[in-house]
């Protein structure tokens, strides 16, 4: 059954001009782009998105990074979308990411790692709703 997931092309990748190349990888892997927009978020909007990480030592740095420039939030659809996107992204730290993954190709560091992808159905639902209204997903 087809499933939706949420992704973000992060500020590092946008700054480096990797947006189109990352979108091409996503489409080549069979994902349908249901919704996409370009925007910049404030530090407090980034904190709201990453609230599950608020006790982590890198929370302040991560939310500063995510609000440092334009991003592309995306809603993607395919069978097994959540797990398949995580696989396509590769490990959080690009040093550990498998060959051929987006993070291996485009990420610069464990923090500036090019792409976000939801890790479960409940987080995908929350994250899609954080960035997109229902009418944008019709």
> Binding-site residues for ATP, please?
10, 58, 86, 92, 103, 113
Nearer to ligand GDP, 19 or 117 (CB): 117
How big is the chain, counted in residues? 138
Nearest Cα to Cα of residue 70 among 39, 46, 108: 39
Set 62, 116, 117, 124: catalytic member: 116
Positive/negative CA dihedral, 102, 6, 20, 111 = negative
- Catalytic residue at 53? no
Q: What's the CA gap between 75 and 77, in Å, rounded?
A: 7
Closest approach, Cβ 116 to ligand GDP, in A, equals 6
Contact positions toward ligand GDP, by CB under 6 A?
A: 58, 61-62, 92, 110-111, 113, 116, 119
Nearer to ligand GDP, 44 or 96 (CB): 96
CB 111 within 8 A of CB 58: yes
Structure token pair of residue 88: 């396509």
Nearer to ligand GDP, 16 or 136 (CB): 16
Catalytic residue IDs:
116
């Amino acid at each position: 059954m087809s499933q939706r997931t949420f992704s973000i092309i992060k500020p590092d990748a946008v700054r480096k001009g990797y947006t189109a190349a990352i979108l091409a990888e996503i489409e080549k892997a069979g994902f349908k782009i249901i919704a996409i927009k370009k925007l910049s978020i404030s530090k407090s909007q980034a904190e709201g998105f990453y609230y599950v990480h608020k006790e982590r030592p890198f929370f302040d740095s991560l939310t500063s990074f995510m609000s440092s420039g334009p991003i592309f939030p995306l809603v993607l659809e395919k069978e097994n979308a959540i797990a398949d996107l995580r696989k396509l992204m590769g490990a959080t730290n690009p040093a550990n990411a498998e060959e051929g993954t987006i993070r291996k190709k485009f990420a610069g560091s464990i923090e500036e790692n090019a792409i976000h992808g939801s890790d479960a159905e409940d987080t995908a639902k929350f994250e899609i709703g954080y960035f997109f209204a229902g009418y944008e997903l019709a």
